[in-house]
């Protein structure tokens, strides 16, 4: 078996199960996936869409997500998959920016999308379900491929943690066959050993880059994807046992949630079928990763990349145990660490992370942002800061936009967050710089607790002391506040910009 597209799997093994919706147990065969995606592709053509045109999706982890994205992929379209938590104003901005001809939305997202539509007059809305919904409208269309199949791609928008989200365009050869492998398709097979026997858990929203792209890579080769509608720590363990899953992708927040389950609960589930646990999206605190290896064994495999995919590093458990905290060596591109003057820095000096000879990309409708991500040598950066050791292993420090300058000292919040999350009382933590008349900025920790009833001055001082003991007085938060929940995406990305803006506004008002 050497499948390169789900349509090939449908031809050779039509009854093979492509994916399972964990919440309902619904199993969708490759034959059904193929028929649905063909009918949708036929619909796009009847609607006048040709290769290069854009559709947008605002759909939760629904059984029609895969038919929708594969319909675009096999008809040459760009598909923009949007977060279901976006406000109507942000949805309208993206719909206008990407120039979507159609936006498909579900019952769950209907109210906000229909509100956004009033500000995006060039886009036609298509409700997925219900009378005259898209599912009903395609039922009579032919289930065979369109005559002019050609490869389409995602155009995903950055999460907007540091500003307005921007669409990220990948380079695709015009007229490329639909079974053309992407760089990720090659990686999942050669680096991670995915095959048609892969049984993969997707615990995160499919509107994000990694969950969507990795799930599609599994479906290209005839594997099985089990899709959770939302992450729940115990439910994830139960699914691994029930479906004998052998691969899964996580973010550090998932690990923290699972580790904080009672020991007797964790011991209830047999996860021995899991052969590889891939994780990314945010730096993983060293104690958290060590605890996961102690629990699951040396099956963790970390990578560092982004929606832009300009570079890619990877590290397995054996390498990581020798170099705790590293995110690996480059598999795509060459890592270059540059100082503020643009010059390359020697090993173990922190600076901006660039990739030389990485994958090209551009920001849709924003040539200035594209140019700002590229230096005079043609190397590209996403604004992350880190350093490499003498063997070329990368260590992440933080995003430059979140660096705190207190009394002239550069402080990177990630290190402090990674420590605070290990305290047994803490469920999640964000560290930001807040205005300080004497120091310029001071360190403030905003903490989400395991038990909110414990919030108060005594616990705040306990957490400050905990940080002082481990990190010293300069990095320890001067202020600890408590929040019911932090603005974190299910991918693990924290919207620190929102917290920082809130505190700055309060300082100006006060």
Could you tell me if 434 and 406 are in contact, meaning their C-beta atoms sit under 8 angstroms apart?
no
Decide: helix, strand or coil at residue 401.
Answer: helix
* pLDDT(162) > 60: no
The beta-carbon contacts of 179-182 under 8 Å, at least 24 apart in sequence, are 179/4, 179/5, 179/8, 180/151, 181/4, 181/220, 182/213, 182/217
pLDDT confidence of residue 30:
98
Contact between residue 50 and residue 76 where contact means Cβ atoms under 8 Å apart: yes
Residue with tokens 């002391």, as numbered in its chain: 465
Token pair in block for residue 332: 């795509």
Name which of 371, 269, 278, 265 is nearest 327 in CA terms: 278
Helices (H) and strands (E) in the chain, counts: 17, 25
β-strand pairing of 54-58 with 17-21: unpaired
Q: Own/partner pairs for 178-181, CB < 8 Å, 24+ apart?
A: 178/5, 178/7, 178/73, 178/74, 178/149, 178/150, 178/151, 179/4, 179/5, 179/8, 180/151, 181/4, 181/220
DSSP 492: S
Q: Which residues are CB-neighbours of 462 under 8 A, at least 6 positions away?
A: 425
pLDDT of residue 346: 97
Cα–Cα distance, 489 to 57 (Å, whole number): 18
Is the pLDDT higher at 494 or at 54?
54
C-alpha 90/C-alpha 326 separation (Å) is: 35
DSSP 8-class letter at 17: E
Residue 446 pLDDT level (bands cut at 50, 70, 90): very high
137 — pLDDT class (breaks 50, 70, 90): very high
- Which residue did the predictor score with more confidence, 85 or 94? 94
Q: In this model, does residue 28 exceed pLDDT 60?
A: yes
Alpha carbon 89 to its chain centroid, in Å, reads 22
Q: What is the pLDDT of residues 466-479, one digit of tens each?
A: 999 988 888 999 99
Give this prediction's pTM. 0.86
β-pairing, 326-332 with 394-399?
Answer: antiparallel
* pLDDT tens digits for range 305-351: 988 989 999 999 999 999 999 999 999 999 999 998 999 999 999 99
Q: Which domains does the chain have, with CATH numbers?
A: 32-173 (3.40.50.980), 181-304 (3.40.50.980), 327-401 (2.30.38.10), 403-509 (3.30.300.30)
């Amino acid at each position: 078996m050497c499948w390169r597209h789900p349509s090939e799997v449908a031809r050779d093994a039509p009854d093979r199960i492509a994916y399972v919706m964990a919440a309902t147990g619904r199993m969708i065969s490759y034959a059904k996936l193929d028929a649905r995606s063909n009918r949708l592709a036929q619909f796009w053509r009847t609607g006048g869409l040709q290769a290069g045109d854009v559709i947008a999706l605002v759909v939760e982890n629904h059984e029609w997500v895969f038919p929708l994205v594969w319909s675009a992929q096999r008809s040459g379209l760009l598909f923009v998959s949007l977060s279901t938590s976006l406000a109507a104003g942000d949805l309208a901005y993206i719909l206008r920016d990407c120039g979507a001809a159609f936006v498909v939305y579900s019952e769950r997202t209907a109210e906000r999308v229909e509100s956004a539509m009033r500000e995006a007059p060039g886009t036609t809305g298509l409700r997925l379900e219900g009378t005259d919904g898209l599912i009903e409208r395609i039922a009579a269309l032919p289930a065979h491929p369109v005559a002019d199949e050609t490869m389409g791609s995602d155009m995903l928008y950055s999460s907007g943690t540091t500003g307005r989200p921007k669409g990220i365009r990948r380079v695709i050869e015009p007229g490329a066959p639909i079974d053309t492998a992407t760089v990720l398709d090659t990686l999942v097979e050669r680096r991670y050993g995915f095959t048609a026997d892969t049984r993969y858990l997707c615990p995160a929203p499919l509107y994000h880059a990694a969950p969507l792209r990795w799930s599609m890579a599994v479906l290209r080769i005839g594997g099985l994807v089990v899709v959770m509608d939302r992450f729940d720590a115990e439910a994830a363990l139960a699914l691994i046992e029930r479906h004998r899953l052998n691969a899964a992708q996580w973010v550090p927040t998932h690990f923290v949630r699972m580790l904080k389950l009672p020991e007797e609960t964790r011991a209830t589930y047999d996860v021995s079928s899991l052969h590889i646990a891939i994780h990314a999206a945010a730096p993983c605190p060293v104690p958290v990763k060590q605890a996961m290896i102690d629990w699951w064994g040396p099956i963790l495999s970390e990578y560092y990349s982004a929606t832009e995919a300009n570079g890619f590093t990877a590290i397995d458990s054996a390498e990581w145990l020798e170099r705790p905290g590293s995110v690996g060596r480059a598999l795509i591109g060459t890592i270059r660490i540059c100082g503020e003057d643009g010059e390359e820095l020697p090993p173990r000096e922190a600076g901006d992370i660039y990739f030389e000879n990485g994958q090209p990309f551009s920001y849709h409708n924003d040539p200035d942002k594209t140019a700002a991500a590229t230096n005079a040598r043609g190397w590209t950066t996403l604004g992350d800061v880190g350093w490499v050791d003498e063997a070329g292993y990368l260590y992440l420090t933080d995003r430059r936009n979140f660096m705190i300058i207190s009394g002239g000292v550069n402080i990177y919040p990630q290190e402090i967050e990674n420590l605070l999350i290990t305290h047994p009382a803490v469920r999640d933590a964000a560290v930001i710089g807040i205005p300080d008349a004497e120091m310029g900025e001071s360190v403030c920790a905003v903490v989400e607790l395991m038990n909110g009833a414990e919030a108060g001055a005594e616990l705040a001082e306990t957490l400050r002391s905990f940080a002082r003991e481990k990190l010293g007085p300069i990095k320890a938060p001067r202020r600890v506040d408590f929040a019911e929940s932090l603005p974190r995406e299910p991918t693990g990305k924290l919207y620190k910009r929102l917290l920082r803006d809130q505190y700055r506004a309060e300082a100006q008002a006060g």
